[in-house]
Structure 1
Amino acid sequence: MAGLPTSSFKANTGSAAAEDPKLGLTKQIRSHEVAIAELNSLSPSRAVYQKNGNLFFRTTIQKATASEQSNKFCIESVIY
């Protein structure tokens, strides 16, 4: 590995999100959209677990979806 330039190791480190905060926020919004879509695909009688800090709490799909939509809205208000 001594003959390789160091720039080849920096190509895919994910530093683009660190350089562009808008890109990082866009990725967070996309993550919330995926979570909402996954929650909508579950049966209504199914219980889900929502992370709050380091703990997981059992909740309904409706409450978890509302929380994800709220978090997504907060991030969107920052970016736009």
Structure 2
Amino acid sequence: MASVSSNRNSDLSKQLRSHEVAIAELNNLSSSRAVYQRNANLFFRTSIPTAITTEQKQLDSVKANLKILDSSSS
């Protein structure tokens, strides 16, 4: 059971870092750059603020899941 929790924790940590990096990269793009966002297996062109908002929501979700996992393992 501990190894499953550890693997889940590691996976969530990687997702957390991935979303943090994506937000940092989006914040450093010029406003004239094209941004594509993945929905299922398709990519759609979107604005930078919309992409940042989506990444932030996903980041918040991962943080909440990580917090739940940490509190349940304690």
How does the TM-score come out when normalised to structure 2? Answer: 0.80
Residue-pair matches, total: 65
Q: After superposition, what is the alpha-carbon deviation per residue over 1:18-72, rounded to whole angstroms, capped at 9, x for unaligned?
A: 9521011000000000000110110012220000000000000000000000001
Larger Rg: 1
Q: What code does the residue aligned with 1:29 have?
A: L
In 2, distance between residues paired with 1:21 and 1:74? 14
Q: Which has the higher contact order (CA 8 A, sep 6+)?
A: 2
The CA RMSD over aligned residues, in Å, is: 1.9
Partner of 1:57: 44
Q: Any unmatched runs of 5+ in structure 2?
A: 68-74
Q: Any unmatched runs of 5+ in structure 1?
A: 1-15
Structure with greater proportional helix content: 2
| Percentage of identical aligned residues | 51
